[in-house]
A and B are shown apart, each in its own frame.
Chain A
Amino acid sequence: MESATQSKTTILKDLINKSIHISRIFNAPVQQVWSAYTESELLDQWWAPKPWKAETKSMNFTVGGFWLYAMVGPDNTKHWGRMNYHAIQPYQKMEGEDGFCDEDGNLNHDLPLTKWNHIFTATEKGTKVEFKLLLATEKELQTLVEMGFEMGLTAAMDQLDELLA
């Protein structure tokens, strides 16, 4: 069942296995979705939740390569992020880890690295993106959530029931 007010993104948390699963179907061919994930000019346009902006410093989308980017806030605050690519199956799957770093890409090991994978599947309705985050510790979860808060997001009470269902 879908309605206009219902959120399109589904999220499932599995606290026992410390993973979060997010999925959504996009009305676009897999090739285009793949481009939006792998070409930095496109990534910059959507990766940061508004009012933040993503700014690419360098992109090397290869196994062993990484994307170095800044999350830039409205007051010009910058959080540097680094996305390491560990496995790539074109138009199907990518795997890697995400961490905080300095502007030269040196990882901040005081903050946790988050492992993730994205799976892309062509369906009748469009391209299904399934995104899984693996959290090594609850501290990671808290750090992610705090980042979420910092980015100006507040909990919408009416959506909590859906999460608990």
Chain B
Amino acid sequence: MRRDIFQAIADPTRRAILSLIALQAMTPNALATHFDTSRQAVSKHIKILTECELVHQVQKGREIYYQLEPSKMKEIADFIEPFRQMWEQKFNQLEIVLNNLK
């Protein structure tokens, strides 16, 4: 099932999972120790993140590790870009206003 990337980051637990695995790949067990919720609940969040392709699994020996998918995080960054451009433009206009005040 294809999900919306913003749905993935709309939940605080999922954002916390992303920030944890951004630092290093983690096993489901290691991840679960960071949360008060049940292991099943954490698994469900990981499943959603995986479906959004923000997270992927890597097999290392007998363990499964979850890793962040940086290219997908870029999609979120892409959303910010028009907003940055809008402020760049507004501030360029502010600069003109300030120059005219002199």
Q: A residues touching B (Cβ–Cβ < 8 Å)?
A: 7-9, 11, 13, 15-16, 20, 22, 24, 26-28, 32-33, 35-36, 42, 45-50, 129, 131, 137-138, 141-142, 144-145, 148-149, 151, 153-156, 159-160, 163-164
B97, A145: Cβ atoms under 8 Å? no
DSSP majority for the A interface? mixed
Complex interface: chain A residues within 8 A of B32 (CB): none
A46, B79: Cβ atoms under 8 Å? no
CA distance A35 to B100 in the complex (A): 13
The smallest C-beta distance from A37 to any residue of chain B, in angstroms, reads 9
Interface residues on B, range: 35 or more
B9 interface residue per 8 A CB criterion: yes
CA distance A24 to B87 in the complex (A): 10
A26, B95: Cβ atoms under 8 Å? yes
By beta carbon, the residue of chain B nearest A17 is B15
30 contacts between A and B (CB under 8 A): A8-B88, A9-B88, A11-B80, A11-B84, A11-B87, A16-B15, A16-B19, A20-B83, A27-B95, A28-B101, A32-B98, A32-B102, A33-B94, A35-B101, A36-B98, A36-B101, A45-B96, A49-B89, A129-B91, A131-B87, A141-B6, A142-B6, A144-B83, A145-B80, A148-B82, A148-B86, A155-B78, A155-B81, A159-B81, A160-B77
By beta carbon, the residue of chain A nearest B89 is A49
Among B73, B88, B90, point to the contact of A46 (Cβ < 8 A).
B90
Question: A137 with B83: in contact, given A33-B98, A49-B90, A155-B78 (CB under 8 Å)?
Answer: no
A148, B83: Cβ atoms under 8 Å? yes
Complex interface: chain B residues within 8 A of A42 (CB): 97, 101
By beta carbon, the residue of chain B nearest A22 is B87
B85 interface residue per 8 A CB criterion: yes
Complex interface: chain B residues within 8 A of A145 (CB): 79-80, 82-83
CA distance A129 to B98 in the complex (A): 13
A156, B85: Cβ atoms under 8 Å? yes
By beta carbon, the residue of chain A nearest B98 is A28
The smallest C-beta distance from B51 to any residue of chain A, in angstroms, reads 17
CA distance A50 to B15 in the complex (A): 35
A49, B81: Cβ atoms under 8 Å? no
CA distance A144 to B47 in the complex (A): 29
By beta carbon, the residue of chain B nearest A133 is B83
Known interface pairs A155-B81, A160-B74, A164-B74; 20 further A-B residue pairs with C-beta atoms within 8 A, sorted by A's residue number? A8-B92, A9-B88, A9-B91, A24-B91, A26-B98, A27-B95, A28-B99, A32-B101, A49-B89, A50-B89, A129-B91, A138-B9, A141-B79, A145-B79, A148-B82, A153-B82, A155-B78, A155-B85, A160-B81, A163-B80
